[in-house]
Amino acid sequence: MYIVGIDLGGTFFKVGLVDSESGKILKKIERETRVDEGREKVVERMASAVQEISEGYDYIGVGVGSPGSIDHDNGIVRFSPNFPDWIDFELGGKLSALINKPVFVENDANAFVLGEKWFGAGKGHDHIVALTLGTGVGGGVISHGILITGRDGIGTELGHVIVEPNGPLCGCGNYGCLEALASATAIRRMALEGQKKFPESEIFKAEDVSAKVVFDAARHGDALGVFILERVVNALAIGVSNFIHIFNPSVVVIGGGVSRAGELLFKPLREMVSHLVMPSFKGTYEILQSPLVEEAGILGASSIVLQREIKL
């Protein structure tokens, strides 16, 4: 069975033709989003990319993983920070009219957890908590086989769970959200904050301070790098153990750029979470790095179609 997945970003969108049986992306196109040209033009460009990539394939539908607040029942983008004119925009309906196929739209963090369920670390599982550690921290949850979105479809804001009251200021205005301690943005910020106290840190020998640079420094035993890593692990461990106590999932999967630190991050995280969970939860969960990496966006988007058409 073939599906088209669209990973919509503020600068580029990626379109992929996916074989649902193998979970392989057969073809892939990347195009500029060009939000400034207006939403209708963006949808037209999405439609033309879908037509180009699907030529000769009888695909069942299109899934779009979009940033922002999504009315997923109706395929409407309610509002999305980097898409100023996309307010209550019928993205699904417009795109569907142009390509004459069903289109399903979902928030990108929700698409991520669906991708993990259908193609990644959560395959075969009905209880999955997913976190993406990127510019922000996104969250998606599947519980009892159902994507948890809440009354208005805006739930599972796992990045805005407070893990350190009186901790650093978050973009949302609160203090100590998971996002303010475990996103790539937070890691960079903590490094810059540490420059005065650790001017000799190898972090500042890099051309640009990034999460990768910080974690590489930690790997080499750099004091500031290790300090930041510990802070990230601590925040993530509190968040993850809370999510385990709340959802009793079989899999916690963590993706996004920050997760590429691999075992440097996952080993101490697993250890700390094992100390924080209550005895009855021991052995009930695994904490896994997302295996989808670069393909998470397109596979997540295409799995929206599977979840809607197959599961429900």
The footprint of a second copy (CB under 8 A) covers 69, 79, 126-127, 141, 143-144, 146, 148-158, 160-165, 172-174, 234, 238, 241-242, 245-250, 276, 278, 280-281, 284
Question: 265, 225, 234, 270: which is closest to 251 by C-alpha?
Answer: 270
- Minimum CB distance to a second copy, residue 136 (Å): 12
Tokens of residue 243, six digits? 């999510």
- Minimum CB distance to a second copy, residue 243 (Å): 8
Is 161:242 a contact under the CB 8 Å cutoff?
Answer: yes
- Minimum CB distance to a second copy, residue 138 (Å): 12
* Smaller CB separation from a second copy, 165 or 221: 165
Question: 130, 145, 1: which is closest to 59 by C-alpha?
Answer: 1
* Smaller CB separation from a second copy, 51 or 143: 143
Is 305:138 a contact under the CB 8 Å cutoff?
Answer: no
* Smaller CB separation from a second copy, 16 or 122: 122
Is 300:114 a contact under the CB 8 Å cutoff?
Answer: yes
The number of CA neighbours under 13 Å toward the Cβ of 195 is 11
* Smaller CB separation from a second copy, 22 or 312: 312
- Minimum CB distance to a second copy, residue 276 (Å): 6
Residue 257 DSSP code: G
Q: Can you tell me the distance from the alpha carbon of 138 to that of 42, in angstroms, rounded to the nearest whole number? A: 24
Tokens of residue 100, six digits? 């004459």
* Smaller CB separation from a second copy, 1 or 154: 154
- Minimum CB distance to a second copy, residue 154 (Å): 5
* Smaller CB separation from a second copy, 217 or 273: 273
- Minimum CB distance to a second copy, residue 152 (Å): 5
Is 158:243 a contact under the CB 8 Å cutoff?
Answer: yes
